[in-house]
């Protein structure tokens, strides 16, 4: 047997234990071993190693029940302050940073406003490097981040860390990871916001046992993250999974990507607002970038008096149902989770979605795939990118 194989297994087991503690800790060693089907010897060896690295804390469980031998069980957990990472969210005209601790908990927000669409490539690298330096200067030395994760709206190559296209930027094909690592001397991880959301959801206890699922992120655009065989699937060219640019209708509605008929061109906030503005005089005149408030006005109006708007959201639901039927036919997934800021209108879309799914796909293929809505919380992108940055150095 190869030595490297032994080493790889040890590392894989270690990563698995760290992941499980991050989600479920504090927990007794015996329960950890049972949950992960690891032998007591393996658990002891790896947790000792983590203790030597000062990454583990033990606390006797005074409130937990004692075990059958009558001794109080010692619960272990990741030491929250063993080290920290920096999660940065790049959005239109904003860099938002948070510190993430070893447990994946988020704190210390810093927001920097700047005209992101005016930045050259070099300007972007400099702006992020300088933001990281400002953040570093604002936290005590023991909290200085050891890695940086950047969440980007748009299309990202998660393998080589290149931003292919983002609505926040005028420049395209930006080798952000490579250039930034030279400038800030920290490991850099880049992911699109939908993959960040997927990682955040994967770290929620209720979704922990899923191995094959997709998370559709409704918002300005429509993104998706996909977990296959328990791992985030980035695709061979790193750009999976662009559900928003899979198709509803050949030669259909105009999409911001430049093509027509994409699902996003019917379900994205910009598409809903654009279509609503053809029905009503709307107050917000920049219809391509509707605010959260203007989107909420549409939802309220649909709920109170407008059948036209209810129909608009219903159709968006049908378009989602069409796309989801393709996903299920192709991938036979366990669960599809719908979230993101645009899911504010999920209750108006759900009936259309379910009806069209049943109209599109025979029940034998829908099988036991379930579809559910997960409440959106805007910090989930940050939580996800913090987890990705942690996993890059775990």
Residues that bind a second copy (CB under 8 A): 1-3, 5-6, 9-10, 13, 38-39, 41-42, 45, 155, 164-165, 172-173, 211-212, 224, 226, 228-229, 231, 233-243, 245-250, 257-259, 261, 318, 322, 325-327, 329-334, 356, 359-362, 364-365, 367-369
In 3D space, the residue among 117, 186, 175 whose CA is nearest the CA of residue 149 turns out to be: 186
Indicate the residue among 105 and 326 with the shorter CB distance to a second copy.
326
φ/ψ region of 153 (left if φ > 0, alpha if ψ in -120 to 50, else beta) reads: beta
Indicate the residue among 64 and 359 with the shorter CB distance to a second copy.
359
Q: How far is the CB of 304 from a second copy (least distance, A)?
A: 29
Indicate the residue among 1 and 137 with the shorter CB distance to a second copy.
1
Indicate the residue among 58 and 231 with the shorter CB distance to a second copy.
231
Q: Which residue's structure tokens are 């992101």? A: 116
Indicate the residue among 153 and 246 with the shorter CB distance to a second copy.
246
Rounded distance between C-alpha atoms, residue 55 and residue 52, angstroms: 8
Q: Please count the CA atoms within 13 angstroms of the CA of 171 that sit on its side-chain side.
A: 16
Residue 170, number of CB atoms within 10 A of its CB: 13
Indicate the residue among 46 and 309 with the shorter CB distance to a second copy.
46
Q: How far is the CB of 239 from a second copy (least distance, A)?
A: 5
Q: How far is the CB of 111 from a second copy (least distance, A)?
A: 29
85 membership: H or E segment, kind and range: strand 84-91
Residue 21 token pair: 């503690």
Q: How far is the CB of 41 from a second copy (least distance, A)?
A: 8
Rounded distance between C-alpha atoms, residue 197 and residue 159, angstroms: 18
Going along 147-264, which residue ranges are E strands?
148-152, 155-157, 162-165, 188-192, 213-218, 222-228, 231-232
74-78/27-28 β-pairing: antiparallel
CA dihedral of 113, 117, 121, 124, whole degrees rounded to 10:
10
Residue 232 token pair: 């985030």
Q: How far is the CB of 389 from a second copy (least distance, A)?
A: 22
Q: How far is the CB of 115 from a second copy (least distance, A)?
A: 24
Indicate the residue among 82 and 354 with the shorter CB distance to a second copy.
354
Q: How far is the CB of 242 from a second copy (least distance, A)?
A: 4
């Amino acid at each position: 047997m190869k030595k490297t194989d032994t080493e790889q297994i040890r590392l894989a087991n270690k990563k698995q234990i760290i992941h499980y503690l991050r989600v479920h800790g504090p927990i007794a060693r015996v329960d950890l071993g049972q949950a992960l089907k690891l032998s007591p010897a393996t658990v002891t060896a790896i947790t000792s190693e983590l203790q030597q690295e000062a990454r583990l804390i033990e606390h006797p469980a005074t409130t937990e029940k004692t075990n059958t031998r009558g001794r109080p069980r010692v619960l272990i957990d990741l030491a929250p302050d063993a080290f920290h990472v920096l999660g940065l969210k790049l959005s239109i005209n904003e860099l938002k940073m948070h510190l993430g601790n070893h447990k994946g908990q988020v704190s210390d927000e810093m927001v920097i406003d700047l005209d992101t669409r005016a930045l050259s490539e070099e300007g972007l690298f400099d702006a992020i490097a300088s933001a990281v330096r400002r953040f570093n200067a604002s936290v005590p030395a023991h909290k200085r981040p050891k890695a940086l994760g950047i969440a980007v709206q748009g299309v990202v190559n998660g393998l080589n860390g290149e931003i292919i296209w983002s609505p926040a930027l005028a420049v395209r094909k930006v080798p952000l990871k490579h250039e930034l690592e030279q400038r800030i001397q920290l490991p850099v991880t880049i992911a699109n916001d939908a993959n960040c959301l997927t990682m955040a959801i994967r770290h929620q206890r209720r979704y922990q046992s899923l191995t094959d699922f997709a998370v559709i992120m409704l918002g300005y655009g429509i993104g998706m993250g996909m977990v296959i065989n328990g791992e985030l699937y980035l695709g061979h060219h790193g750009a999976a999974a662009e559900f928003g640019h899979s198709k509803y209708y050949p030669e259909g509605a105009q999409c911001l990507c430049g093509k027509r008929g994409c699902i996003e061109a019917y379900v994205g906030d910009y598409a809903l607002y654009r279509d609503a503005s053809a029905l009503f005089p709307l107050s917000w005149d920049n219809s391509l970038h509707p605010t959260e408030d203007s989107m909420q006005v549409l939802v309220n109006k649909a709920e109170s008096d407008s059948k036209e708007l209810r129909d608009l959201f219903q159709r968006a639901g049908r378009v989602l149902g069409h796309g989801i039927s393709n996903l299920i036919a192709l991938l036979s997934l366990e669960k599809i989770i719908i979230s993101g800021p645009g899911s504010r209108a999920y209750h108006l879309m759900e009936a259309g979605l379910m009806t069209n799914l049943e109209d599109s796909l025979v029940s034998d293929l829908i099988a036991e795939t379930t579809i559910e809505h997960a409440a959106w919380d805007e910090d989930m992108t940050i939580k996800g990118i913090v987890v990705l940055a942690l996993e890059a150095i775990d």
